[in-house]
């Protein structure tokens, strides 16, 4: 949450900061600001609203400053106003601070600083840091920052500049991600790699509780006062990955990238001849599936829905019981993590605060953590005992799409591998599923061909002014209904709920009338007949039915007002493809309703605060 960038070097800092912020807007877009360090003073520009306003406001700014910091905000403390926009300064304008995350002790600090005569101008938790720095016994930036951060509690990352030291930026990571980009005679810092891509591929990920001092000539990393040798990594990301490449929105681009993302997840991991899966990544081989007695799968939002599908595939194929818990509940619950329990953490970003807290809880209980994660170098990749990288590439759209389908594929590979090793899956059954997996990119491409039909249907529903939508599914596609509803609500702002279709008569059926669109996922699988009955019950009450079914299922198509047919697939694989029409429907409905698809209100991409 919140995008932050910093630059120090020989170029004018402002265009670098604005270019970086443009690529971080998905992390927050409530307000934006920059601080440029001039000899002896700091020049600040801040606007309420998205980055475009800041670009306009700084059009005529003198471009000679070569050090600066920039921020795009997702508000936590204080409304999205200019006064609350970052960077924040101390009473004399010597220090400028920007921050992502939360300072939990800010109220007590603010009261104490006020008593000492400091004047506050915003409602943010961030401003206390600027005033704390003013009180630091040493005004040397690295020392002052170390002194101030020792007095802060919370989860955050900071970028700080001082007018007394124009060629230096100090950054701190405590819970929220930060990455330093290395150049020649210039350096960059950002909360996420897309901001660095136009400038460098050489990066150093900050470890937790680490402070970093950056000048044009180099960087210095310290943890608890001790210097750390830096480990330089090379980003294997094409620059255009962070661009829309002709698509009107990142979300649409990422929906269309799903065949390639799934192919990348499968690459080199399937051995058809031996009917086996090859997973060789960090720590994976150290978990013996024959000794696993139980899995607890955690995640948030879309990743939580992926965990629900993973439950089906791991229980179905490997016969290991799986409990699914929202990470935000798991971390504050009293989970019983007995011997033989593996915690499976699923996350696109690998930085979601609740998921990471759940991982730390599991590790404190000495239970192994296996992570399905997309972003290389993220906290989850470092903290988990074993990692299954998804390889979906950058996902920038706030509404997660390709990460979800890749998470499902990774869970299937895991279930297949464990099933073979535990002897619960025969070679012939495994081979059939592996062949199905290989066919997935083609099935996804074919389903994406429905885009025009789905767009027209969505446009009709937009004209119908429907305020509520219901999604139903069963079996392997129980969670597909939840995911379809989540996509719709987060980008259209229409109310949508997902239900198990078998649960309808226990209450939700009361909602059904001719005004209510009901989206049913009813592919050809072992519960097809059951959900067909549920569909009849909805029809009998006049429900406005859209059905995602299997191509050629004419009986079902006749009963639906709108029918989207997907290719026939082995049952455990159907959720990977059945969700695509729902993603497209939400997308086209949002566009028809005039929503800002890539910047849904109140949301941001990585939820690094509680
Ligand atoms: O990065 P993560 O997968 O851990 O993120 C989890 C959720 O915040 C995320 O899936 C969120 O629900 C998306 N906006 C859904 O589209």
What does the pLDDT look like over 48-77, one tens digit per residue?
Answer: 998 999 999 999 999 899 999 999 998 888
pLDDT for 287 equals: 96
Mean pLDDT of 150-165: 94
Amino acid 458: pLDDT: 97
- The answer, yes or no, to whether residue 608 has pLDDT greater than 80, is no
- Whether residue 602 is contained in a domain is answered as no
pLDDT tens string 342-353:
999 999 999 999
Are both 422 and 457 inside the same structural domain? no
pTM for this structure? 0.90
Calculate mean pLDDT across residues 187-196.
Answer: 94
> Which among 311, 402, 487, 605 is annotated as catalytic?
605
What is residue 346's predicted lDDT score, i.e. its pLDDT? 98
Looking at residue 241, what is its pLDDT? 79
Last residue of a domain, one of 241, 262, 279: 241
- The DSSP output letter for 175 is B
Is 357 domain-assigned? yes
- Tell whether 606 is covered by a domain: no
437, 326: one domain: yes
551 shares its domain with 490? yes
**Is the domain of 487 the same as that of 542?**
yes
Is 605 labeled as catalytic in the residue annotation? yes
Q: What pLDDT, in 10s, does the model give residues 391-445?
A: 999 999 999 999 999 999 999 999 999 999 999 999 999 999 999 999 999 999 9
- What is the percent of the chain where pLDDT is above 90? 87
Domain final residue pick, 211, 241, 271 = 241
pLDDT surpasses 80 at 595: yes
Structural contact between residues 418 and 411, judged by C-beta atoms closer than 8 angstroms: no
- For residue 305, the model assigns a pLDDT of 98
Rounded to the nearest angstrom, the distance between the alpha carbon of 90 and the centre of ligand 1 is: 35
- 303 CA to middle of ligand 1, Å? 6
Cβ-contact 315, 322 below 8 angstroms: yes
Name the closest-CA residue to atom 10, ligand 1.
302
The CATH number of residue 456's host domain is 3.40.50.10490
Ligand 1 atom closest to the Cα of residue 401 is: 16
Of 315, 316, 411, 317, the residue nearest 371 (C-alpha):
411
Q: Of the candidates 417, 445, 473, which is a domain's last residue? A: 445
Name the band, by pLDDT with cuts 50, 70 and 90, for residue 605.
Answer: confident
Residues 295 and 229 in one domain: no
Q: Tokens 């961030």 — which residue?
A: 126
Q: What is the CATH number of the domain that holds 168?
A: 3.60.20.10
Q: Could you give the CA distance from residue 597 to residue 600 in angstroms, rounded to a whole number?
A: 6
Same-domain pairing of 570 and 471: yes
Q: Is 604 within the bounds of a domain?
A: no
Quick one: three-class SS letters along 5-27?
A: EEEECCCCHHHHHHHHHHCCHHH
Distance 339 CA to ligand 1 centre (A): 30
pLDDT number for residue 66:
97
Pocket mutation for ligand 1, best pick of 177, 251, 303 (most atoms within 8 Å of C-beta): 303
Tell me the average pLDDT of the chain: 95
194 and 55 both lie in a single domain: yes
Q: How confident is the model at residue 27 (pLDDT cuts 50, 70, 90)?
A: confident
pLDDT category at 36 given cuts 50, 70, 90 is: very high
Nearest CA to ligand 1 atom 14: 399
Which atom, in ligand 1's list, is nearest to the CA of 487? Answer: 16
Confidence of residue 128 (pLDDT cuts 50, 70, 90): very high
Cα-trace Rg, the chain? 25
73 and 219, same structural domain? yes
* pLDDT value, residue 332: 93
Domain assignment present for residue 253? The answer is yes
* pLDDT band at residue 565 under the 50/70/90 scheme: very high
| Contact residues of ligand 1, CB 6 A cut-off | 300-303, 347-349, 352, 355, 398-400, 486, 490, 606-607
Q: Are residues 99 and 145 in the same domain?
A: yes
pLDDT at 313: 98
- What's the domain count of the chain? 3
Interval between CA 136 and ligand 1 midpoint (Å) = 39
Instruction: State in Å: Cα 348 to ligand 1 middle.
Output: 7
Using the mean position of ligand 1's atoms as its centre, give its distance from the Cα of residue 304 in Å. 8
Average pLDDT over every residue of 468-491 = 97
With respect to residue 186, please indicate whether it lies within any of the assigned structural domains: yes
The answer as to whether 608 is a domain residue is no
Domain residues for 413? 244-445
Lowest mean pLDDT among 123-127, 313-317, 367-371, 486-490: 123-127
Reply yes or no on whether the pLDDT at 228 is more than 90: no
- Give yes or no for residue 610 having a pLDDT over 90: no
pLDDT of residue 76: 81
Average pLDDT over residues 258-267: 98
Residues 440 and 453 in one domain: no
Assigned domain for 609 exists: no
Residue with the smallest CA separation from ligand 1 atom 11 is 301
More confident residue, 255 or 543: 255
- Shared domain check, 337 and 480: no
Judge if 513 and 547 occupy the same domain.
yes
In the residue annotation, 253 being an active-site residue is answered as no
Quote the ligand 1 centre to 604 CA distance (angstroms): 9
Given a cut of 80, is residue 586 above it in pLDDT? yes
**Strand boundaries in 53-207, DSSP class E:** 67-73, 88-89, 95-103, 154-162, 169-174, 179-182, 187-190, 202-205
pLDDT of 65 reads 97
């Amino acid at each position: 949450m919140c995008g932050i960038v910093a630059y120090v070097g020989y170029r004018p800092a402002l265009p670098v900061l604005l270019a970086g912020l443009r690529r971080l807007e998905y992390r927050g877009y409530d307000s934006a600001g920059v601080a440029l360090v001039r000899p002896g003073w700091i020049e600040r520009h801040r606007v309420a609203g998205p980055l475009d306003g800041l670009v306009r406001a700084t059009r005529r700014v003198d471009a000679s400053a070569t050090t600066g910091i920039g921020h795009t905000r997702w508000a936590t403390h204080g409304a999205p106003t200019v006064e609350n926009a970052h960077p924040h300064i101390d009473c004399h304008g010597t220090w400028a601070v920007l921050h992502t995350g939360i300072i939990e002790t800010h109220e007590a600090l603010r009261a104490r600083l006020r008593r000492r005569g400091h004047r506050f101008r915003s409602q943010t938790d961030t401003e206390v840091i600027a005033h704390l720095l003013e009180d630091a016994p040493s005004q040397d930036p690295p020392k002052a920052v170390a002194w101030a951060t020792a007095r802060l509690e919370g989860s955050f990352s900071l970028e700080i500049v001082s007018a007394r030291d124009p060629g230096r930026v100090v950054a701190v990571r405590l819970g929220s991600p930060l990455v330093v980009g290395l150049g020649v005679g210039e350096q960059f810092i950002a909360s996420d790699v897309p901001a660095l891509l136009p400038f460098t591929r050489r990066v150093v990920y900050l470890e937790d509780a680490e402070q970093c001092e950056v000048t044009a000539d180099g960087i210095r990393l310290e943890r608890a006062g001790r210097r750390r040798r830096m480990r330089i990594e090379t980003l294997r990301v094409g620059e255009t990955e962070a661009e829309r490449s002709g698509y009107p929105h990142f979300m649409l681009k990422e929906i269309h990238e799903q065949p390639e993302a799934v192919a990348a997840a499968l690459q080199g991991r399937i051995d058809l001849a031996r009917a086996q899966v090859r997973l060789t990544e960090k720590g994976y081989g150290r978990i013996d599936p024959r000794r696993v007695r139980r899995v607890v799968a955690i995640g948030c939002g879309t990743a939580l829905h992926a965990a629900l599908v993973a439950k089906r595939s791991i229980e179905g194929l490997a016969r290991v019981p799986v409990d699914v818990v929202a990470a935000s509940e798991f971390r504050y619950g009293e989970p019983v993590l007995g011997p033989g329990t593996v915690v499976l953490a699923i996350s696109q970003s690998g930085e979601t605060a609740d998921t990471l807290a759940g991982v730390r809880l599991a590790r404190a209980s000495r239970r192994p953590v296996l992570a399905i994660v997309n972003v290389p170098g993220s906290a989850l990749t470092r903290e988990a005992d074993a990692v299954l990288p998804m390889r979906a590439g950058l996902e920038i759209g706030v509404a997660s799409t390709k990460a979800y389908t890749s998470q499902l594929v990774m869970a299937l590979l895991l279930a297949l591998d464990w099933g073979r090793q535990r002897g619960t899956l025969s070679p012939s059954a495994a081979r059939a599923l592996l062949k199905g997996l290989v066919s997935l990119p083609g099935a996804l491409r074919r389903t994406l061909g429905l885009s025009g039909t789905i767009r027209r249907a969505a446009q009709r529903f937009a004209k119908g002014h429907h305020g509520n939508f219901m999604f139903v599914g069963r079996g392997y596609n129980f969670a597909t209904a939840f995911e379809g509803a989540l996509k719709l609500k987060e980008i259209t702002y229409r109310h949508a709920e997902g239900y198990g279709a078998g649960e309808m008569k226990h209450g939700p059926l009361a909602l059904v009338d001719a005004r209510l669109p009901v989206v049913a996922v009813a592919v050809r699988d072992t519960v097809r007949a059951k959900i067909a009955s549920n569909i009849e019950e909805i029809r009998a009450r006049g429900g406005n039915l859209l059905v995602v079914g299997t191509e050629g299922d004419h009986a079902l198509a006749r009963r639906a007002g709108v029918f989207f047919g997907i290719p026939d697939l082995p049952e455990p694989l159907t959720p990977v493809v059945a969700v695509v029409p729902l993603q497209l429907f939400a997308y086209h409905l949002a566009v028809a309703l005039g929503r800002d698809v890539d910047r849904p209100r109140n949301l941001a991409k990585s939820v690094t605060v509680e």
